[in-house]
Chain A
Amino acid sequence: MKTAQRDNRVLFAEALTEALSRKYEAALSSAITASPSEAYHAKVRQTILKARSEAFRKRLLTALLAATLLLLVSCTAVYCVHADFGYFSTEDDGVSVHIFYDEATRLAAPKILEEYYVPKHLPDGFIKQEELFFRDDSVIYIYKNAEGKQFQFSQVAFGGTSSYSHSVSSSYTTWETVTIEGQEFLCGKHDWYDEVYATIGHIIYFKYLWCDGRYLLSITSDVPLSTEELALFVDEIEIVPK
Chain B
Amino acid sequence: MLCYLLSATDTEHKDLIEQLYRDFHRDALRFAASRFAAAGRQDAPHLAEDAVQNAFYKLAKNAHKLPKSMDGTLSKTYLFSCVTNEVSEVLREEVALSLEELPPTIGDGDFLEQLCLREHYGRVVRAIERLDDKYSTVLLWHFAGGLSVKRIADLLGIKKKTVYTRLARAKRLLLTAIKEEAE
The answer to whether B140 has its CB under 8 Å from any CB of chain A is yes
The answer to whether B30 has its CB under 8 Å from any CB of chain A is yes
Inter-chain contacts of A19 with B (CB < 8 A): 124-126, 128-129, 136
Per-residue A-contact encoding for B117-153, CB less than 8 Å = 1, 0 else:
1100100111011000000100110011000000000
Q: Please tell me if the beta carbons of A15 and B117 are within 8 angstroms of each other in the complex.
A: yes
Q: Please tell me if the beta carbons of A17 and B33 are within 8 angstroms of each other in the complex.
A: no
Choice from A22, A31, A169 contacting B31 with Cβ under 8 Å: A31
Q: Which stretch in A52-60, A79-87, A190-198, A229-237 binds the other chain?
A: A190-198
The answer to whether B35 has its CB under 8 Å from any CB of chain A is yes
Q: Please tell me if the beta carbons of B144 and A199 are within 8 angstroms of each other in the complex.
A: no
In the assembly, what is the distance between CA of A155 and CA of B3, in Å? Answer: 32
> In the complex, which residue of chain B has the Cβ closest to the Cβ of A21?
B77
Inter-chain contacts of A134 with B (CB < 8 A): 69, 71-74
Inter-chain contacts of A5 with B (CB < 8 A): 109, 112-113
The answer to whether B169 has its CB under 8 Å from any CB of chain A is no
The answer to whether A166 has its CB under 8 Å from any CB of chain B is yes
Q: Please tell me if the beta carbons of B72 and A11 are within 8 angstroms of each other in the complex.
A: no
Q: Please tell me if the beta carbons of A17 and B77 are within 8 angstroms of each other in the complex.
A: yes
The answer to whether A182 has its CB under 8 Å from any CB of chain B is no
Choice from A9, A30, A138, A203 contacting B143 with Cβ under 8 Å: A9
In the assembly, what is the distance between CA of A190 and CA of B19, in Å? Answer: 12
The answer to whether A162 has its CB under 8 Å from any CB of chain B is yes
Q: Please tell me if the beta carbons of A28 and B30 are within 8 angstroms of each other in the complex.
A: yes
Q: Please tell me if the beta carbons of A20 and B77 are within 8 angstroms of each other in the complex.
A: yes
DSSP class of A's interface residues: helix, strand, loop or mixed? helix
Q: A5-B112, A19-B136, A167-B76 are in contact. Are A36 and B44 (CB under 8 A)?
A: yes
The answer to whether B26 has its CB under 8 Å from any CB of chain A is yes
A173 → chain B closest CB, angstroms: 9
A-B contact count (CB 8 A): 123
A166 → chain B closest CB, angstroms: 6
Per-residue B-contact encoding for A119-140, CB less than 8 Å = 1, 0 else:
0000000000000101000101
Q: Please tell me if the beta carbons of B71 and A194 are within 8 angstroms of each other in the complex.
A: no
The answer to whether A200 has its CB under 8 Å from any CB of chain B is yes
Q: Which of B54-113 contact A (CB under 8 A)?
A: 69, 71-74, 76-77, 80-81, 84, 108-109, 112-113
Q: Please tell me if the beta carbons of B2 and A16 are within 8 angstroms of each other in the complex.
A: no
In the assembly, what is the distance between CA of A70 and CA of B33, in Å? Answer: 33
Per-residue B-contact encoding for A1-39, CB less than 8 Å = 1, 0 else:
000010011011111111111111001101110011000
* A-B contacts besides A15-B124, A16-B144, 20 pairs, CB < 8 Å: A8-B115, A11-B117, A12-B143, A16-B143, A17-B144, A19-B126, A20-B140, A23-B129, A23-B136, A30-B34, A31-B30, A132-B71, A134-B69, A134-B71, A138-B73, A171-B27, A172-B22, A192-B22, A196-B3, A203-B22
